[in-house]
């Protein structure tokens, strides 16, 4: 029997959580322990984690666990009392942004952060129209589900969200390249702003993940974001950067993914890696936006910004600094990319290799000219690697893009294991064809 499955647990789960609570892999994994970049299943087998970005500084990191335990045994209240932790954490966090982004509000999840950002954007502009890409996913609350134009029921039912084609340089529109392609995609933003106006809906802004992570970690056409945001601001809208997936130094070169562009957001949302697994998220924004929203809306989040969550958040920042994890994202990231490009030379199936620090995507195609998505091969490779003890996932409109996004302490020695496993899996697929 395959290691790590647990049929009786799965049956009990179906009974109390239902059939549709999502699970990874054809044979779901019963993971019981985590350490650094490793996960261990119920049978004691270990897996290299090349997928989870939430345990950002490594699974069960002792410094983070210690900060959590110490503060939880001392005090866990809320922000209606004064506490040093929330102030100190907000100070440390905002210091990593452009000076204009000087205030923070804390929530517990990325969905709540995007909810808050949308409420702020709609409040300060007096508009409601939001532009996203046509393969966006930003969370699970209603107003945020409305942004998932490709697959969410709530998105199909609303008129206040419009989408642009994903600014993809691999499957580029109209055969364009370079600046011309960037401008063409940016013009889509201009067109949707005009469409809102024609529809009698006042425009509020654009919400984008600067890495376009769910869209497939796109190689963004040059100049696209700067030109798109210029159109947005000309029309009185704001730019919300969703850093829930992309943030906290994953790119290595910057703490925030938007800092790779020549543009500063008005509102930034943070989440997943922020508490290394502890439910911690938030919004960093321009002071005038937060003050204006706060004056008109009585916003309070019971658990958001509590002393324990902020202690955990600060411990994550400590480890990022102390273990030089941004530099590691650059160094190990380059090593992984080089290995992935070598695999691309070996296997026709790999249409494009994309990388941004410690984040990698392989777009699989059955034909490099026609770029026919190799969705079934992607599915096979993900499940083969799971059996081989390496955890990855897949994304994109056609589910044909392998998503490699390990915890930040991932090292070249781990990369070697990943690359060998991928080599084996691709060679199996090639033999089968």
Check residue 94 for interaction with a second copy (CB under 8 A): yes
Check residue 369 for interaction with a second copy (CB under 8 A): no
Pairing state of beta strands 129-133 and 161-164?
parallel
Check residue 110 for interaction with a second copy (CB under 8 A): yes
Minimum CB distance to a second copy smaller for 139 or for 221: 139
Q: Can you tell me which of 37, 48, 97, 111 binds a second copy, judged by CB under 8 A? A: 111
Closest by alpha carbon to 56, among 219, 271, 236, 253?
271
Q: Can you tell me which of 236, 294, 389, 412 binds a second copy, judged by CB under 8 A? A: 294
Minimum CB distance to a second copy smaller for 107 or for 219: 107
CA distance 376 to 380: 6
Check residue 201 for interaction with a second copy (CB under 8 A): no
The b-or-e profile of 120-129 (16+ CB within 10 A means b, else e) is bbbbbbebbb
Check residue 116 for interaction with a second copy (CB under 8 A): yes
Pairing state of beta strands 372-373 and 390-391?
unpaired
Instruction: Using alpha carbons only, give the angle 406, 54, 226 rounded to the nearest 5 degrees.
Output: 80
**Which backbone phi and psi does 393 adopt, to 5 degrees?**
-145, -175
Q: Can you tell me which of 101, 109, 121, 235 binds a second copy, judged by CB under 8 A? A: 109
Minimum CB distance to a second copy smaller for 148 or for 351: 148
Minimum CB distance to a second copy smaller for 225 or for 308: 308
Interacting positions 42-81 with a second copy (CB under 8 A): 52, 54-55, 59-60, 62, 64-65, 68-69, 72-81
Closest by alpha carbon to 373, among 364, 386, 360?
364
Minimum CB distance to a second copy smaller for 281 or for 340: 281
Q: Can you tell me which of 258, 278, 380, 405 binds a second copy, judged by CB under 8 A? A: 278
Q: Which two tokens stand for residue 6?
A: 């647990």
Check residue 390 for interaction with a second copy (CB under 8 A): no
Check residue 353 for interaction with a second copy (CB under 8 A): no
Minimum CB distance to a second copy smaller for 133 or for 169: 133
Whether 86 contacts 311, CB under 8 Å: no
CA distance 356 to 243: 14
Q: Can you tell me which of 37, 57, 90, 362 binds a second copy, judged by CB under 8 A? A: 90
| Rg, the chain, Cα only | 22
Check residue 99 for interaction with a second copy (CB under 8 A): no
Binding-site size for a second copy (CB under 8 A) equals: 99
Check residue 205 for interaction with a second copy (CB under 8 A): no
Segment contacting a second copy (CB under 8 A): 167-175, 189-197, 209-217, 302-310? 302-310
Interacting positions 126-185 with a second copy (CB under 8 A): 140-143, 145, 151-154
Taking the complex as a whole, how short is the minimal distance between the CB of residue 411 and a second copy, in angstroms?
A: 21
Check residue 29 for interaction with a second copy (CB under 8 A): yes
The b-or-e profile of 374-407 (16+ CB within 10 A means b, else e) is bbebbebbbebbbebbbbbbbbbbbbbbbbbbbb
User: How long, in residues, is the chain?
Assistant: 433
CA distance 132 to 314: 31
CA distance 174 to 154: 31
Q: Can you tell me which of 3, 233, 303, 411 binds a second copy, judged by CB under 8 A? A: 303
Whether 401 contacts 378, CB under 8 Å: yes
Check residue 370 for interaction with a second copy (CB under 8 A): no
Segment contacting a second copy (CB under 8 A): 11-19, 224-232, 371-379, 403-411? 11-19
Closest by alpha carbon to 129, among 181, 101, 164?
164
Q: Can you tell me which of 1, 20, 175, 200 binds a second copy, judged by CB under 8 A? A: 20
Could you write out the DSSP letters of every residue in 368-382? TTTTEE-HHHHHHHH
Segment contacting a second copy (CB under 8 A): 223-231, 262-270, 297-305, 356-364? 297-305
């Amino acid at each position: 029997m395959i290691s790590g499955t647990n049929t009786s647990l799965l049956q009990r789960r179906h009974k109390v959580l239902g059939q549709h609570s999502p699970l990874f892999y054809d044979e779901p994994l019963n993971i019981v322990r985590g350490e650094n970049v490793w996960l261990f299943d119920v049978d004691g087998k270990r897996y290299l984690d090349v997928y989870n970005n939430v345990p950002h500084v490594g699974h069960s990191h002792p410094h983070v666990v210690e900060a959590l335990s110490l503060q939880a045994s001392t005090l866990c209240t809320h922000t209606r009392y004064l506490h040093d932790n929330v102030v100190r954490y907000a100070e440390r966090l905002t210091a990593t942004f452009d000076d204009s982004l000087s205030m923070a509000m804390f929530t517990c999840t990325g969905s709540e952060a995007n909810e808050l950002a949308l409420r702020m954007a709609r409040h300060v502009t007096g508009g409601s129209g939001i532009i996203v890409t046509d393969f966006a996913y930003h969370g699970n609350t209603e107003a945020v589900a409305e942004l998932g134009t490709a697959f969410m029921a709530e998105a199909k039912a609303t008129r206040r969200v419009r989408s642009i084609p994903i600014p993809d340089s691999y499957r580029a529109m109209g055969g364009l390249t370079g600046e011309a392609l960037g401008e063409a995609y940016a013009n889509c933003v201009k067109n949707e702003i005009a469409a809102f106006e024609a529809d009698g809906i006042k425009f509020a802004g654009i919400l984008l993940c600067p890495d376009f992570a769910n869209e497939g970690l796109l190689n963004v056409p040059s100049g696209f974001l700067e030109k798109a945001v210029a159109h947005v601001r000309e029309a009185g809208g704001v730019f919300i950067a969703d850093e829930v997936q992309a943030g906290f130094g994953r790119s290595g070169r910057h703490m925030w993914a938007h800092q790779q562009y020549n543009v500063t957001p008005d509102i930034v949302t943070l989440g997943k890696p922020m508490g290394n697994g502890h439910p911690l998220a938030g919004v960093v924004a321009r002071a005038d936006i937060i003050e204006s929203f706060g004056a008109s809306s009585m916003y309070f989040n019971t658990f958001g910004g509590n002393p324990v969550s902020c202690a955990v958040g600060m411990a994550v920042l400590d480890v990022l600094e102390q273990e030089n994890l941004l530099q590691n994202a650059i160094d190990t990231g380059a090593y992984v990319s080089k290995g992935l490009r070598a695999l691309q030379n070996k296997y026709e199936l790999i249409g494009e290799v994309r990388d941004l620090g410690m984040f990698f995507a392989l777009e699989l195609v059955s034909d490099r000219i026609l770029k026919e998505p190799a969705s079934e091969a992607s599915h096979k490779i993900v499940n083969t690697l799971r059996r081989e003890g390496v955890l990855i996932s897949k994304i994109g409109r056609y589910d044909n893009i392998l998503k490699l996004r390990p915890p930040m302490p991932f090292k070249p020695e781990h990369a070697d294991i990943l690359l060998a496993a991928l080599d084996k899996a691709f060679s199996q697929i090639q033999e089968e064809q």
